[in-house]
Amino acid sequence: MTPFLSMIQSCRMGRLRFSAHARKLATQARDPAPHYQHSEMALRARFTIGYNYRMSNVLAAIGRGQLQVLEDRVQARRRNFGYYQQTIGDLPGIDFMPEAFWGRHTRWLSVITVDPAQFGADRDAIRLALESENIASNTRSGSLCTWPPYPPTLGGLRCSPRIGGWGACGGRDV
C-alpha cells in the first residue's frame, strides 16, 4: 500500500472511531451493562459524561401533551410503589428508598436495598429471577460519590460506596 493510501485509510478509520464515540456520547455514554455504568471514566485520566439531547419535533409535541397528564403518571407510580412496599416491605433484608421530608418523590424508579445475609439472595439473583419472568429491572450502579465527576461528600455528609452493591431498581412499571 502506498503512503498516500495508508494515510487515507488512517483518516477513514479515525472518522469511524470519532463517529462511534460521538454516537456513544449522544446516548448518555452508557455501557451495555445490567446497571448504569461508564467504564470510560476508569480507562482515561479524565471522565466522560454523555447526554441525550436528541429530540424530534414529534417527540417534543408528545412530551408537551404528556405534561398535561404528568400528575396522573406520578400518582400511578406512587401507587405502584405503595403496592411494592405493602407486598414485600416486611421481608427481612429488603428496604425501600425513603421519601425525603422536604419534598415529594415521584417514585419514577422503585428502588430497594437488599441485605443478602438477611434476605437470602443478592441483588443480582433478584434481577435474574425477575428477568426470567420477563419483568424489567436493573441493579443500582455504584454510588455516585465513587464516580470521578462527583464529590465524596455532599453538604458535609459522607457518601457510602457500599450502597451501590445493595441496590436494585424496577422503574418501568407504568
DSSP 130-142: HHHTT---EE--S
Q: How far apart are the C-alpha atoms of 128 and 34, rounded to whole Å?
A: 10
- The helix (H) or strand (E) run that includes residue 168 is strand 167-169
Q: Are residues 23 and 45 in the same domain?
A: yes
Measured CA to CA, the distance from residue 170 to residue 130 in angstroms comes to 10
Residues 157 and 101 in one domain: yes
Do 74 and 131 fall into the same domain? yes
Q: Do 29 and 61 fall into the same domain?
A: no
For the segment 164-172, the average pLDDT, to the nearest whole number, is 57
pLDDT of the residue at 16: 75
Pair 84, 103 in one domain: yes
CA distances from 18 to 39, 42, 56, 105, 108 (A): 18, 19, 23, 39, 34
Residue 79 in this model has a pLDDT that exceeds 90: yes
pLDDT digits (tens, 9 = 90+) for 47-78: 566 666 667 889 889 989 999 999 999 999 99
Look at the chain and report how many structural domains it folds into.
Answer: 2
Return the pLDDT at 74. Answer: 93
Q: Which of 54, 71, 87 is the last residue of a domain?
A: 54
Q: Which domain holds residue 26?
A: 1-54
Q: 110 and 161 share a domain?
A: yes
Greater confidence, 94 or 1?
94
One-letter amino acid for residue 124 of the chain: D
Q: Does one domain contain both 73 and 7?
A: no
Nearest residue to 164 via CA among 137, 144, 138, 136: 144
Tell me: do 132 and 78 sit in the same domain: yes
Do 18 and 98 have their domain in common? Answer: no
